[in-house]
Structures are given as C-alpha cells and as structure tokens.
Amino acid sequence: MKVKIGKRIKDYRTVWWDKEIVNMIDQTKLPGKFEIYKAENYRETADAIKNMVVRGAPAIGATAAFGMAQAALEFTGSDFEKLKLLMKNAEKIITETRPTAYDLFHAVNFVKKNIKNFDSVKEAKEKALIASQEYADKSAENCRKIGKSGEKLIKDNFNILTHCNAGALACVDYGTAIAPIRFAHYNKKKIHVFVDETRPRLQGAKLTAWELAQERIPHSIIADNAAGYFMQNGEIDIVIVGADRIAGNGDVANKIGTYEKAVLAKENGIPFYVAAPLTTFDMNCKSGKDIVIEERDMNEVLYIDKIRISPKNSKARNPGFDVTPARYIKGIITERGILKAGEVRGI
C-alpha cells in the first residue's frame, strides 16, 4: 500500500519479516501516528495479534505464520522431538489470541504441514521460514487477484458502502473489500466510498479512511446507524465487505454490524458482496451457527480513546463479530473469481 510520510510516498506491506523480527504497521496508533511495531519473538508476535496491533483475517494469518517461524528459529537444541513440543506450545499460544478469524488457524497449519516430514532441526527451521514467507506472499497475491476480480462489479460513478477495515491494513497488501475499490480508482473510474465508522474500535473511521486518504480515493465517513439512510435515499449502489470466516454453507462472520448492513441492502435492492481469499473458508464449519464469536472487553464500548462515555456503573456487551446468512449475499469475491454464496462447498 502507498503511505505518505512527510513529502515521501513509500510502498509498505502491513506485516513483513526482517532478520527474525516480525515487523507490523502499528494499527493502534493510526491515523495519528505511523509507527512500526517490532516483535522479536513468537510471544510478542502473539501479543500483537491479541492486542490488535495487527488485525484483519489475512494479516493475522500472515503474522501467525511468521510467529510460528520465530518459534522454530528460537529453538536452540538438536532434539527434533523437543522442537515439536515447542512448536505445539507456540501453536497453542498463537491460536488462542483471536478465535473467530479462520486465516489464523489456516496459516499455523500451513507452517506445521511444511515441517512435519523433517527429522532434522536445521531443515525444519529453514522450511518454517520459507513456508511463512511463502504464505505471506501468496496472501498478498490472492488479494491482488480479488481486486482484479471485483473491480468489474464497480461501474463509473458508483457509490460504494464498506464496513470496518478490509483494506491493505487488514491483509498483507491490497486488501479484500478495498482491493476492488483500489483497482477501480487505478482504472480512472469515478467512485465515492461511504465508510462506516465501525464502533466500538472505529476501524472504518480510523483505518479505512486513512488508507483511502493515502491514495486520494474520494470518501465520506458515516455513523454506523446512517447507512440505512443513504441506502433508502438511493445514494448507495453496492456494498462490499470483508470476512473473518466463511462457513461451508456460505454464511459469513465479519465485524459486528455487517449483518444489519446486509439486511438493509436486501430490503433496498442493493447488491451485497463479500470479498475474501479462499483461506478464509472453513469447510469444517457447516454453518454460521458453528462459528465461535469473540466477545471482547466491555471497556471498548464504555470508553473512546480512554475517555469514558457512559455512566460509571453501566456495563456493556461487546461481540466482535456477527454472522450474515448466505441468503443476503449476492456473491463472494475470491482470487478464483466471484462465487455465489451457496456454491462454496464446491471450491
């Protein structure tokens, strides 16, 4: 993604490996500051996932893959069985950070699969690093293809609604829901993006808007509860969102508030699309009812930027995600093209 720092414009990935350190754009500091967070071991990498220094399903996946490589490289002995025990412990720590995003588990399993046939510690270490970089590179390429596939859905003069942040910051690069928007912009289409603020962490207002501003893509931030108003008044032509897990029947788990946008889109005759790589599909999960929904700290709702906005004795509920049934989804934009939600079992 393009990032303007002072007068310079530089391309960054959201997460990358450099000399056994996992580097991440610190998303907790945006849009006020652009800083790089450096995780020096797999526990620090796991903490970065848990504390949302890095977030978004594909970005979490790549970060988890690098974390597994760190764990392998941290092993100093020569006993392969002891290495396996370390890797199993690292897997537990990393996968317990965020339970909903499937890419996290897919990435960890990818690295495990690539080292399981070795009995040499040296070879396993080398392969773990190669596999993690391969996973990150493939993730970025898949998002590029999603952008190319989805761009054709966006016509000239379209107004697009998106929810949360499904841009490059949520991935290694390009984004999922934002990738088609980027390519439409690159192809000189006149577009305007309505950006849901996305309470309680405001990933839309803070992150999506920041990404769009970096590339001068026209956009307006709107309150989450304003989306229906703009739909009803004919100001939204298409809705594109990302996904954290897609069940075998096409149900989609995504940031809380996605379900209500899908229902509103259906009511107003507006096509609702999900953009996600195939690594987000969990074929072992039969339907959205089987998806574990992360419930986060109530203080995310009770406070904004450490300022309490609610009465002192009030409590809150804070589910991080909701499930949109497949019947509300026009199609799923993947690196293999656009699928109907009911066709995902055939992938």
pLDDT band at 80 (very low <50, low <70, confident <90, very high): confident
Given this model, what pLDDT does residue 115 score? 87
pLDDT of residue 330: 97
Q: Note the pLDDT tens digit of each residue in 81-124.
A: 899 899 999 999 999 999 998 999 999 999 999 988 777 899 99
**346 pLDDT higher than 70:** no
Confidence of residue 257 (pLDDT cuts 50, 70, 90): very high
* pLDDT higher than 80, residue 342: no
Mean pLDDT for 214-243 is: 97
Amino acid 26: pLDDT:
98
Instruction: Please check whether residue 4 is in contact with residue 214, taking contact to mean a CB–CB distance below 8 angstroms.
Output: yes
Annotated catalytic sites, by residue? 244
Question: What is the Cα–Cα distance from 264 to 228, expressed in whole angstroms?
Answer: 6
Q: Which residue has the tokens 């092993």?
A: 75
- Treating both helix axes as pointing N-terminal to C-terminal, what angle do 80-95 and 102-115 enclose, rounded to 10 degrees? 170
Tokens of 71: 């764990």
pLDDT tens string 304-325:
989 999 999 999 999 999 999 9
pLDDT at 305: 86
pLDDT for 347: 67
Label residue 344 by pLDDT band (50, 70, 90).
confident
Q: Which long-range contacts (CB under 8 A, 24 or more apart) does 326-331 make?
A: 326/249, 326/250, 326/251, 326/252, 328/259, 328/262, 328/263, 328/265, 328/266, 328/272, 329/250, 329/252, 329/262, 329/272, 329/273, 329/274, 330/271, 330/272, 330/273, 331/271, 331/273, 331/274
**Mean pLDDT, all residues of the chain:** 95
Place of tokens 């580097």: 23
Count helices and strands in the chain by DSSP H and E runs = 11, 18
Cβ atoms of residues 256 and 163 within 8 Å: no
Percent of the chain whose predicted confidence (pLDDT) is above 70: 99
**Which of the four pLDDT bands, split at 50, 70 and 90, describes residue 341?**
confident
Q: How far apart are CA 175 and CA 58, in angstroms?
A: 9
Per-residue pLDDT band at 337 (split at 50, 70, 90): very high
pLDDT at 290: 96
- Structural domains in the chain? 2-144 (1.20.120.420), 151-346 (3.40.50.10470)
pLDDT tens figures, 271-298: 999 999 999 999 999 999 999 999 999 9
How does DSSP assign 38-60, residue by residue? EE-SHHHHHHHHHTTSS-SHHHH
Q: How far is Cα 20 from Cα 159, in angstroms, rounded to an integer?
A: 43
Residue 244: pLDDT band (50, 70, 90) is very high
**Span 165-181, average pLDDT:** 97
**Residue 79, helix vs strand vs coil:** coil
